[in-house]
Amino acid sequence: MVYEKGVSIVANWSAILTAAVAVVGYGRYLWGQRQQRRRLEHYLREEKLRDRDESRKGIIHLMGSLSMTEAELLSAAFRSKTVKSCFGVDRQGRADRLLFEYVGEDVPAPTRF
């Protein structure tokens, strides 16, 4: 038929464009993940260098400071090689909070974990 060749060309181009959109979308997703991880690392590093307190930050504090959700923070923290997690304990010695600290080579090592 007359339209058979045209439909074949459109189908090929749509397959190519679908693959290109998928690659771009995946690249943006990976870039966003990387940016979230870097924001968390940078914030914790700056807090550690200021040395105002223990420099360990809880999840609620980080959510407010970085405007990220709990899931985004946990994902970024556990993917990072320079952010380490530890837990805080209550009076009975039970873990009751999750804390994060920057432990890169450019800042002093933590005194206890």
Out of 3.10.450, 1.10.10, 1.10.3470, 1.10.287, the CATH code matching 3-102 is 1.10.10
pTM of the model: 0.80
Query: How do the domains of the chain map onto residue ranges?
Result: 3-102
- Token reading at 76: 């970024």
Q: Give the DSSP per-residue string, 14-45.
A: HHHHHHHHHHHHHHHHHHHHHHHHHHHHHHHH
- C-alpha 34/C-alpha 79 separation (Å) is 9
- Nearest in space to 76 (alpha carbons), one of 26, 32, 40, 28: 40
Model confidence over 27-83: pLDDT tens digits? 999 999 999 999 999 999 988 888 766 678 889 999 999 999 999 999 999 999 999
**Which of 90, 110, 112 is CA-nearest to residue 47?**
110
